[in-house]
Amino acid sequence: MKNRCMMPMVALRGMTLLPNNTAHFDISRKESIEAVKIAMATNQYLMVVTQLDKDNSKGLELDSLQPVGCIVKVRQMVKIPKNVVRVLVEGESRGKLCGIAFRDSFYEADVELWKDTELSKEQEEAYCTSLLEEIRNCYEAGMKINPVSLKKIAKIKQVAVMIDTLAEQLPISYEKRQQILNTEDLLERLTYTMKLLKSEAEVTMIRKELQEQIKGIVEKNQREYVLREQQKLIQEELGEKGTSEIEEYWKSLEKLHAPEEVIEKLSKEIRRLESIPVTSSESTVVRNYVETLLEYPWSKKTEDCRDLKQAEMILNRDHYGMEKVKERVLDFLAVRNMVSEGNSPIICLVGPPGTGKTSIARSIATAVNKEYVRISLGGVRDEAEIRGHRKTYIGAMPGRIATAMMKSGVTNPLMLLDEVDKLSSDYKGDPSSALLEVLDAEQNCKFVDHFFEIPIDLSQVMFLATANDASMIPKPLLDRMEIIEVSSYTQNEKFHIAKEFLVEKQRKKHGLKAKQIQIEDAVLNEIIEAYTRAAGVRGLERQIATLCRKADRVIAGGERKSLRVTSKNMKDFLGVSKYQKEDWDLEPKVGIVTGLAWTSVGGDTLSVEVNIMPGSGKLELTGNLGDVMKESAQIAISCIRSMENKDFLKKQDIHIHVPEGATPKDGPSAGITMATAIYSAVTNQKVRGDIAMTGEVTLRGRVLPIGGLKEKLLAAKNHGMKEVLVPIQNKKDISELSDEILGTMQITYVTNMQEVLERAIVK
Neighbour count for residue 396 (Cβ, 10 Å): 17
What is the rounded CA–CA span in Å between residue 24 and residue 14? 14
**Taking Cα atoms as reference points, which of 411, 418, 403, 417 lies closest to residue 458?**
411
- What is the radius of gyration, based on Cα positions, of the chain? 46
Q: Which of 583, 587, 582 is nearest to 688 (CA)?
A: 587
Residue type, 462: M
Using alpha carbons, select from 41, 28, 36 the residue that is nearest to residue 85. Answer: 28
> Residues in the chain, how many?
763
pLDDT value at 137 more than 90: no
Where does the pLDDT of residue 135 fall: very low under 50, low under 70, confident under 90, or very high at 90 and above?
A: confident
d(CA 737, CA 95): 113
Per-chain mean pLDDT for the chain:
83
Binning pLDDT at 50, 70 and 90, where does residue 647 land?
A: low
Residues 6+ positions from 419 with CB-CB distance below 8 Å: 376, 377, 378, 466, 467, 468
Which helix (H) or strand (E) segment holds residue 619: the answer is: strand 619-622
Contact (Cβ atoms closer than 8 angstroms) between residue 733 and residue 652: no
Q: Structural domains in the chain?
A: 3-113 (2.30.130.40), 121-217 (1.20.58.1480), 221-295 (no CATH), 308-485 (3.40.50.300), 491-574 (1.10.8.60), 589-760 (3.30.230.10)
What pLDDT is recorded for position 278?
67
Q: Helix/strand/coil (H, E, C) string of 674-698?
A: HHHHHHHHHHCCEECCCEEECCEEC
Residue 683's pLDDT band, with cuts at 50, 70 and 90, is: confident
> 506 by DSSP, 3-state: which?
helix
Of 646, 649, 650, 667, which Cα lies nearest the Cα of 658? 667
Per-residue model confidence as pLDDT tens digits over 211-259: 777 776 655 556 666 776 676 677 666 665 444 678 888 888 888 888 8
> 413 with 460: CB under 8 angstroms?
no
Alpha helices by DSSP H, 344-409: 357-367, 384-387, 400-408
Query: Taking 60 as the threshold, does the pLDDT of residue 583 lie above it?
Result: no
E strand or H helix that includes residue 688: none
CB 523 within 8 A of CB 567: yes
**Cα three-residue angle 408-410-411, rounded to 5 degrees:** 120
Catalytic residue among 357, 669, 680, 710: 669
pLDDT at 208 exceeding the cut of 60: yes
Q: Give the per-residue pLDDT at 526.
A: 85
Q: What digits encode the pLDDT tens for the residues 349-400? A: 888 888 888 888 888 888 888 899 999 888 788 787 888 888 777 778 888 8
The pLDDT, as a whole number, for residue 350 is: 87
Q: State the alpha helices, DSSP H only, in 564-670.
A: 570-574, 627-644
21 close to 179: Cβ distance less than 8 angstroms: no
Helices (H) and strands (E) in the chain, counts: 28, 26
3-class state of residue 510 by DSSP: coil
Q: What pTM was computed for the model? A: 0.58
With CA atoms as reference, report the closest residue to 477 among 496, 463, 460: 463
The more confident residue out of 331 and 76 is 76
User: How many degrees, rounded to 5, is the angle at CA 289 between CA 286 and CA 290?
Assistant: 85
Q: Produce one character per residue of 615-642: b if its CB has 16 or more CB atoms within 10 Å, e if not.
A: eeeeeebebebeebbeebbebbbbbbee
CA distance 595 to 691: 9
Model confidence over 689-746: pLDDT tens digits? 889 999 999 988 899 988 888 878 888 887 878 899 999 998 888 877 777 677 778 8
Label residue 77 exposed, middle or buried (CB < 10 Å: 0-12, 13-18, 19+).
middle
Instruction: Count CB atoms within 10 A of the CB of residue 469.
Output: 15
Gap between the Cα atoms of 550 and 450, Å rounded: 52
Other Cβ atoms within 10 Å of 559 Cβ, number: 9
Average the pLDDT over 149-162 and give the result: 86
Encoded amino acid at 466, one letter:
T
Pairing between β-strand 84-103 and β-strand 22-27 as defined by DSSP bridges: antiparallel
H or E element that contains 533: none
48 contacts 21 by C-beta, under 8 angstroms: no
CA distance 215 to 634: 88
In this predicted structure, the answer to whether residue 49 has a pLDDT above a threshold of 90 is yes
Under the banding of pLDDT at 50, 70 and 90, the label for residue 581 is low
Cα separation, 495 vs 244, in Å, equals 62
Q: How far apart are the first and last CA of the chain?
A: 136
| pLDDT band of 577, cuts 50, 70, 90 | confident
Is residue 712 among the annotated active site residues?
yes
pLDDT at residue number 242: 41
How far from 199 is each of 167, 192, 203, 206, 664, CA to CA, in Å?
A: 14, 10, 6, 11, 89
Closest to 166 in 3D by CA, of 128, 215, 213? 128
Instruction: Please state, in angstroms and rounded to a whole number, the distance separating the CA atoms of residues 693 and 676.
Output: 10
3-state secondary structure of 469: coil
Active site residue 710: no
Predicted confidence (pLDDT) per residue in 715-731, tens digit: 888 787 889 999 999 88
Q: At what angle do helices 260-275 and 281-295 cross, to 10 degrees?
A: 150
d(CA 196, CA 205): 14
Residues 497-532 as b/e (b if ≥16 CB within 10 A, e otherwise) read bbeebbbeebbeebebeeebbebeeebbbbbbbbbb
